[in-house]
Structures are given as structure tokens and as C-alpha cells.
Amino acid sequence: MRTQVAIIGAGPSGLLLGQLLHKAGIANIVIERQSGDYVLGRIRAGVLEQVTMDLLAQAGVAERALAEGLPHDGIELLFAGQRHRIDLHGLSGGKRVTVYGQTEVTRDLMEARAAAGLTTVYQAADVQLHDFDGSNPTVSYTQGGQRHALQCDFIAGCDGYHGISRQSVPAAALRTYEKVYPFGWLGVLADVPPVSHELIYANTERGFALCSMRSESRSRYYVQCSMDEQVENWSDEAFWNELRARLDPQAAERLITGPSLEKSIAPLRSFVAEPMRFGRLFLAGDAAHIVPPTGAKGLNLAASDVGYLWRGLAEYYGEKSSVGIDRYSDTCLRRVWKAERFSWWFTSLMHRFPDNGPFGQKIQEAELDYLVRSQAASTSLAENYVGLPVEW
């Protein structure tokens, strides 16, 4: 087999890249080690920046997100027992975010790919990347007991933090930066109405909490927990009681509980691998960088990576220019590091750290009080939350 671009990973970033390339007339094949049902079963974030919504529109898959997604013009910060609204729309010059689940984004992209008759290889075992430092890269894999080889011009590694793409890069060619946070998020998905029509980020003496949603009838809630916790030790009742204890009285009274559809504990880390290009291999999304979910940047960063790569490859094939792909890594990393900074800052501001003690809690509350009372500080938060401008 041969194609122009081999895409490793059928998550939203790989599928979005495939759809954008298809629209540009660039042949591509997606290779995924899991089944399609497994990919759709992964529960992930769902706050989309306008940049991401624009890319979905350019890929021809934004119709359902526009119809069913929930536009949000603000968020609420809860600290010292009171909620304070940040006017994202007003402070950012008219921008907003859209709440639409990552699972639904993936479903839309899968259906569009199938409708276009594009090839996706699921359950590909022992995927290996070859000769991407030369002019004729190849991806080999096993499926149905047979070994296959896919020749291509370029490889896009969209296969996540644990994927083979970054692991295939020689260690000497890669520099990594990492911060592991001393806590996790215990998350619950439930078919109950959201406690508020906008997201609530809570800083409390009991720890962080987040009230989010996937729709007007499905909610996603989180509480900060120790990394020693086991999800099996948390009954639904225990979770709802802990969440209620971290909310203000009005929100606690409005909280509607129900059986959990999914319950899990996610660790938090910041991670960046540099550079993001190695010959004819490009890393995108979680394969190159991880952010703590506090700032809702993971999927959005992956989408902007894909946007840069799509434009660079379209320029390469359409105009015979390599300027875009040559600048890919540097251009992406400027945006990545700004998002890393914001996610680290927001995480540090909103969470209870084991060593901070009462003094650290008071410092956080003082900074939060300044944040909600200063238009300059609120504007900075809003600009970063809705997404900084892209360079295209």
C-alpha cells in the first residue's frame, strides 16, 4: 500500500487531520491500534475554543457541534464561599467557548471519514515506523495475523502520550520537560442536569472541584483527590457528598445527583517534547505535549497542531513549498508553551497543595480576590481561556 500521509492514531486529532487533508486533496490512511468502539468509549474533555470549532467547520464536520454544542460566554470562580463570574465574551473581544464532548467530536469525524470512503485501519498490532529520517518512510503493522507495510511521504504521529510515534524518535534527538502534580482528579459522569449553566471552578480548603457538563442533561463533575486514592473506594454517595461539601450553599442546594455512568481518577501532569518534527515524522497533540485539564487546553492544542500541519502539507503539495512544514515545530511550540504556562498557573491557583498549608491557601485566596476585582487580571484569564490567536 501507498499513501501520501500516514496518520498514526484515530483519536480526534488524527481523524481531524485526515479530514482536513482529504478536503485539500491529499491522500491519507489512519492506523489505530485499538478498535473503533474502544476509541469512542474514552471519556475526555469537552470545552472547545473557537479555533477548534473553525477547524471542524473547515473539515466539514461542525454541523452537529453547532446544533447541539452549548456556547459559553463565561465561567465562575468559587473561593472563600462565594462565586464570581468571569465574562469571557466581554473581556476577550467577543470570543466564547463551546461545550461539546470530545467523544462526540470523534464520532462526527469517524462518520465523515466513513462517508467519504477513506481508509482507517483499526486493531493494528505491533505498529512500527521506519526510515522517517529519509525520503521514503514506511509504517508496518500486523492485522488479522498478516504483516503489512504502508509506504508514504510523511508520517503524522497523533497517537497520544503512550503511542509509538514519540517512542520511535532516538532519545538523543528529543528533549522533554515534565512536571507531575501531587494529586489527581476523581471524575464522575452522570445523566443529571448541570448544577449551573456555566462551569464552576472551586478553590476550597477541602481541595479543588469542577462542575462541568456535556449537555443540558448530562454532567461531568470532578474533585481533587490524593494519588493514593482508589476509585473502587468511592461510592456514588461518597462522591456526591464530597462535591456538595466543596460548593457554595446555593450550588449545593441545586445539585442533582444520580447513578454514575463512568467514574475514574486521572493524574495531572505537564509535559512537552521538543522538537515536534523529525525528518518526515511530525508529532501532534498528546504525542508531543500534555497539559493538566484545568485550563481545558488538551484537545484544543491538538487541534491547533493539526491546523498548522494541514496548512503546511497543503502548501507542500499545492505550492511545492516546504516553508510551512519547516516552521511547524517552532510555530506549534510557541503556542504550546503559552498554553502550558496558563494551565500550570490555573492549576497552581485552584488546587490544594500538600505542602502549602494555611498560608498557601490564604495566598491563593488573595490572588483570586485580585483576579476577580482587576479588569486587567480578569482579561488575561479570559484571553487565555478562550484561546490565544493562532499564527495563520
Q: Enumerate the β-bridge partners of residue 303.
A: none
In a domain, 26, yes or no: yes
Q: Which of 141, 308, 328, 385 is catalytic?
A: 385
Give the tens place of pLDDT for each residue, 269-317: 999 999 999 999 999 999 999 999 999 999 999 999 999 999 999 999 9
Percent of the chain scoring above 90 in pLDDT? 95
List the Cα angle 76/366/80 in 5-degree steps.
50
User: Is 38 considered catalytic here?
Assistant: no
What's the confidence (pLDDT) of residue 133?
95
Q: Is 179 a catalytic residue?
A: no
Query: Is residue 165 situated within a structural domain?
Result: yes
Q: Is the pLDDT of residue 6 over 90?
A: yes
Give the separation between CA 54 and CA 31, rounded to whole angstroms: 25
Q: Is the pLDDT of residue 44 over 80?
A: no
Active-site choice (201, 221, 316, 317)? 201
Dihedrals phi, psi of 338, to nearest 5 degrees: -65, -40
Domain count, the chain: 1
Domain that holds residue 309: 5-49+100-178+269-349
Report yes or no on 304 lying in a domain.
yes
- Catalytic annotation, pick one of 100, 297, 316, 317: 297
Nine-digit cell at 12? 480526534
pLDDT of 43 > 90? The answer is: no
* pLDDT score of 354: 87
Residue 46 is predicted with a pLDDT of 86
- Segment 231-248 shows an average pLDDT of 98
pLDDT mean over 152-169: 97
Q: Would you state the pLDDT for residue 41? A: 85
pLDDT tens-digit profile of 51-99?
999 999 999 999 999 999 999 999 999 999 999 999 999 999 999 999 9
In a domain, 245, yes or no: no
Tell whether 85 is covered by a domain. no
Calpha distance 283→165 (Å, rounded): 7
CATH of the domain at 293: 3.50.50.60
Q: Which of 22, 72, 95, 351 is catalytic?
A: 72
**Residue 13 resides in a domain:** yes
CA 78 vs. chain centroid, Å, equals 24
Summarised one tens digit per residue, pLDDT across range 162-218 is 999 999 999 999 999 999 999 999 999 999 999 999 999 999 999 999 999 989 999
Instruction: Give 382's pLDDT tier (boundaries 50, 70, 90).
Output: very high
According to the model, what pLDDT value does residue 124 have? 97
Q: What is the pLDDT of residue 42?
A: 80
Distances (CA, A) of 187 to 108, 252, 377: 24, 17, 29
Tens of pLDDT, residue by residue over 114-143, are 999 999 999 999 999 999 999 999 999 999
Residue 32 in domain: yes
| % pLDDT > 70, the chain | 100
The separation between the first and the last C-alpha atoms of the chain, rounded to the nearest angstrom, is 33
Q: Is 385 a catalytic residue?
A: yes
Q: Are strands 260-274 and 219-225 parallel, antiparallel or unpaired?
A: unpaired
Domain presence at residue 118: yes
| pLDDT confidence of residue 196 | 96
Asked if residue 227 has pLDDT above 80, the reply is: yes
Give the chain's mean pLDDT: 96
β-strands 5-8, 154-157: how paired? Answer: parallel
Q: Shortest CA distance to 151 belongs to which of 275, 36, 280?
A: 280
pLDDT digits (tens, 9 = 90+) for 331-343: 999 999 999 999 9
**R_g of the chain, CA atoms, integer Å:** 21
